[in-house]
Amino acid sequence: MSRLLTDEEITRQLGELAGWERDGEAITASYDAPDFPTAIRLVDEVAGEAEEMNHHPDIDIRWKVTQWRLSTHSEGGLTQLDIELAHRIAQAAQRLGANAKERPA
């Protein structure tokens, strides 16, 4: 079991994850892929990583944009598993040419 991260730990680690932000007890990001097949490949790559970690994200796919929401439900908040999976998602997105979408202010 992973321990819950402190607010300070979350803020610091999100500073290293472009496009990711905190949303209550979760972290979220959206990635804009070059096309729909690439968006699906991104989900497929992350599915393998998530299964290996036994830590599964909430995913929404809208054409070529994938939206990701991570939280450790068993712990009731954010743990290092969420940060690690976010890094893996970001790395897979970069390999596939998907760009993090900035949230409107």
Q: What is the pLDDT of residues 32-50, one digit of tens each?
A: 999 999 999 999 999 999 9
Q: Please report the pLDDT score of residue 102 as a whole number.
A: 79
pTM of the prediction? 0.94
Answer for the pair 49, 92: CB distance below 8 angstroms, yes or no. Answer: yes
- If you ran DSSP here, which 8-state letter would residue 75 be given? T
Give all strands (DSSP E) within the chain, no chain letters. Answer: 21-23, 26-32, 58-62, 65-70, 99-100
* Amino acid letter for position 19: G
Q: Over the stretch 68-92, which tens digit does the pLDDT of each residue have? A: 999 999 999 999 999 999 999 999 9
Q: pLDDT confidence of 16, banded at 50, 70, 90?
A: very high
Distance of alpha carbon 94 from alpha carbon 89, whole angstroms? 9
Distance of alpha carbon 87 from alpha carbon 16, whole angstroms? 9
Helix or strand or coil: residue 39?
A: helix
